Amino acid sequence: MDLRTLVQEFPHAGRLEAILLRPTRRAPAISVNSTMAVADRGLDGDHLAARQPPRSGGGKRQITLIQSEHLPVVAALAKLDALPATLLRRNLVIPAHAWKSCLALGDTTP
């Protein structure tokens, strides 16, 4: 079964748990309610979107994702009681069942 077939077979409504931006390199992440995706750059307000893309089509990690279910696993591996998503270098925190929706991201112009 290829990915296209798998995605069509398990449709779910997407849910976004957090949007995290780092205004400058190595700065702590801040949680925001909304932002805009900038073509070939990333998320508006994130330090990566502010710089010139390294090549046509943008860099390979314009927007990064993490499944919310992975946070307690990473915390346990790090021997922590909890791990806030803001400590990780990821932009979007989503539940596992929402990955299908993220795979369907594309042109979002109105």
Whether pTM exceeds 0.85: no
Q: What is the pLDDT of residue 6?
A: 61
Q: What is the pLDDT of residue 99?
A: 60
Written as tens digits, the pLDDT of the chain (110 aa) is 676 776 666 555 667 889 999 999 889 999 999 999 888 888 999 988 877 766 676 666 788 888 899 999 999 999 999 999 999 889 999 887 666 555 545 444 44
Place of tokens 């993220």: 102
